Amino acid sequence: MTALSIAEAFHQLKQNNEKAFVAYIMAGDGGLSSLKDKVLFLEKAGASMVEIGIPFSDPVADGPVIQEAGKRALKEGVSLAKVLAEIAAFRSSVTIPLIVMTYINPVYAYGIERFVNDCAKAGVNGVILPDVPFEEQGILSQELKEKNIDLIQLVTLTSPEERKKKIAQASNGFLYAVTVTGITGQRNKLPEELSGYLEHLKKISPVPVLAGFGISNHRQVKEVGSYCDGVIVGSKIVDLFHQGKEEEIVELIGKKTESIL
């Protein structure tokens, strides 16, 4: 079974006139042995890619739901090394791209070279490091590039125009457009300026633009997805898995909107 790269996944989505739906889960929430089943479940439900969070004691970008999931995983003794080993063990069973989301402290402690090599061995397609400023990405961007692993860049509503352009031009895989000012978590209302922000990023980005943070229901998936290439949903997926409401995850992913490209 050959896994798709992120670029190949987007090519396939475009051919099928579909938007991307990236599902985030916390590795080790419910035990590390559940990670494979969750990834396979999400793939079968129609997720385009899965973003796998690594539990960390100081998750600056994560809201309450994901923080609690991380605490539960840490109590299970989950670590970066164990997660990468687990991914490597089941990677051949999964065809969609897998993205690891972590912070720079665990990577430094692990060793950058070792981290990149083990990501490559595990078949990881992309890495997200939300606390690494754009100016500091050189600490591991070249190593990741040599292993054909995309370093996903984040851009925010408050980023100055020139910075947005620089980040977009340096992006690999896709550009992660943060849709709110603040941490992750479910929101009843998204910013009014969101449509213009996403449409502008689409114009300046050489790679697909995906929107994440605060997207948690069918209406938001459809609305936000109409402005860009797809959405990333985290807190809602994590919460539904924790509550054992897998059928609602299937319904949420099933609401992917058709492409207007």
User: Cα–Cα distance between 235 and 3 in angstroms, integer?
Assistant: 26
User: How far are the Cα atoms of 38, 75, 82, 195 from residue 172, in angstroms, in the given order?
Assistant: 26, 34, 26, 23
In a domain, 260, yes or no: no
In a domain, 237, yes or no: yes
In a domain, 67, yes or no: yes
Domain count, the chain: 1
* Residues acting as catalytic residues: 51, 62
In a domain, 258, yes or no: no
pLDDT of res. 162 = 96
User: Cα–Cα distance between 182 and 85 in angstroms, integer?
Assistant: 32
Could you tell me where the beta strands, DSSP code E, fall in the chain? 20-26, 49-53, 98-101, 126-128, 150-155, 175-178, 209-212, 230-233
pLDDT of res. 63 = 79
In a domain, 192, yes or no: yes
In a domain, 197, yes or no: yes
Coil, strand or helix: which one is 162? helix
pLDDT of res. 64 = 87
Contact at 8 Å (CB) between 21 and 253?
Answer: yes
Q: Tell me the DSSP string of 38-50.
A: HHHHHHHHT-SEE
**CATH code for position 227:** 3.20.20.70
Q: Tell me the DSSP string of 191-254.
A: -TTHHHHHHHHHHH-SS-EEEESS--SHHHHHHHHTTSSEEEE-HHHHHHHHHT-HHHHHHHHT
Whose CA is closest to 95, among 48, 34, 149, 26?
48
In a domain, 28, yes or no: yes
pLDDT of res. 84 = 98
Contact at 8 Å (CB) between 213 and 3?
Answer: no
Q: Per-residue confidence of the chain (261 residues) as pLDDT tens digits?
A: 689 999 999 999 999 999 999 999 999 999 999 999 999 999 999 999 999 999 998 877 677 899 999 999 999 999 999 999 999 999 999 999 999 999 999 999 999 999 999 999 999 999 999 999 999 999 999 999 999 999 999 999 989 999 999 999 999 999 999 987 644 444 455 667 889 999 999 999 999 999 998 888 888 899 899 999 999 999 999 999 999 999 999 999 985 544 333
In a domain, 114, yes or no: yes
Q: Which domain holds residue 73?
A: 6-253
Whose CA is closest to 129, among 106, 162, 95, 98?
106
User: Cα–Cα distance between 249 and 254 in angstroms, integer?
Assistant: 8
pLDDT of res. 183 = 46
User: Cα–Cα distance between 82 and 191 in angstroms, integer?
Assistant: 38
